[in-house]
Structure 1
Amino acid sequence: MTTTCLCGAVSVTIDAKPAFINDCNCSLCRKTGGAWGYFAPASVTASGETATYSRADKSSPAVDIHSCTSCGTTTHWTRTEAFIAQYQTNDMVGVNMRLFDPEDLSGVEVRYPDGKSWTGGDSFGYRREAMAISETTRW
């Protein structure tokens, strides 16, 4: 499956639908417009010029957000070098699933984590029940 940013300068290809999509309400996800599918790094190919942003409000941010340098669309995130060094793993890439047509994501569960209230400790709660993308139920 391949998608592009709004202007088409950046493309992202994944090898399969995600197991689920997180539509989080934390400030990072809300302000970047991301609804994330998670993949092994080898399962994602991104091409085109992107600008990266790491959170300035965290002492050790875990992800670099990638956006198209032309249209500004948030396309994906990758683990930061600091995260990889600290945890000795590069375990996932997040792809902004809002860039794909909902028809292509039919059957994928959308989860709604309450990242705004999450303190970074244990598991986060959810602000509403999950739903599966279908022809009659879109997210």
Structure 2
Amino acid sequence: MTLDCFCGGVRVTTVKKPEFLHACNCDLCRKSGARWGYFDPSEAAIDGQTSSYRRHDKPEPAVDVHFCPKCGSTTHFRLTERAASTFGDTMMGVNMALSDQADLVGVELRYPDGMAWSGEGAFGYTRESRILGPDG
């Protein structure tokens, strides 16, 4: 799959569809408009220059969120050095909201309760998941 930011300055290419998407309700995800698909870093390539943001409201943020410095579109996240040293550099998130809706037909959309998540253990969910159709 190929995804582009709004201005086309950053392109993300993945080797497959994600198994599911997260539409998280935490402030960072909600305000960035992200629908995260998860990949091993070897399964996604980033072309173009990005800037990154590490949230300041957590004592030990786990991710650096990347965005296009020209149009501001959130493109992906990578684990911070500290998180990668704890969990391994085994995951990155790609903002699948940048993809064509037709490319995500059949993918499960989940709604994690990031606002209530402590940062440890499994997510709770705010509502039932759904399978995406042609209209997203």
Tell me if both proteins adopt one fold, taking TM over 0.5 as the criterion. yes
Q: Deviations over 1:69-107 (max 9, x none)?
A: 10000000011112223x151010100010011111110
User: Which residue is 2:109 aligned to?
Assistant: 110
Q: For the residues of structure 1 that align with 2:71 and 2:91, how far apart are their CA atoms?
A: 25
User: Which residue is 1:46 aligned to?
Assistant: 46
Q: For the residues of structure 1 that align with 2:87 and 2:109, how far apart are their CA atoms?
A: 29
User: Which residue is 1:95 aligned to?
Assistant: 94
Q: For the residues of structure 1 that align with 2:9 and 2:64, how far apart are their CA atoms?
A: 19
Q: For the residues of structure 2 that align with 1:76 and 1:88, how far apart are their CA atoms?
A: 18
Which residue identity is paired with 2:42? A
Relative to 1, partners in 2 of residues 1:82 and 1:109: Cα closer, same or farther, differing over 3 Å? same
Q: Unaligned stretches of 5+ in structure 1?
A: none
User: Which residue is 1:17 aligned to?
Assistant: 17
User: Which residue is 1:120 aligned to?
Assistant: 119
The alignment partner of 1:113 has SS state of coil
Q: TM-score, normalised by structure 1?
A: 0.93
Q: RMSD of aligned C-alpha atoms?
A: 1.2
Q: For the residues of structure 1 that align with 2:43 and 2:91, how far apart are their CA atoms?
A: 9
Alignment length (residue pairs): 136
**Larger displacement relative to structure 2 (28-37 or 119-128):** 119-128
Q: CA deviation at 1:18?
A: 0.3
Q: CA deviation at 1:31?
A: 1.3
Q: Of Structure 1 and Structure 2, which has the larger fraction of its residues in strand?
A: 1
Would you say 1:68 and 2:68 are equivalent positions?
yes
Q: CA deviation at 1:122?
A: 2.9
Q: TM-score, normalised by structure 2?
A: 0.95
Would you say 1:82 and 2:82 are equivalent positions?
yes
Shift >4 Å, 4+ stretches:
none
Q: For the residues of structure 2 that align with 1:55 and 1:109, how far apart are their CA atoms?
A: 27
User: Which residue is 1:7 aligned to?
Assistant: 7
Percent identity between the aligned chains? 49
The alignment partner of 2:45 has SS state of strand
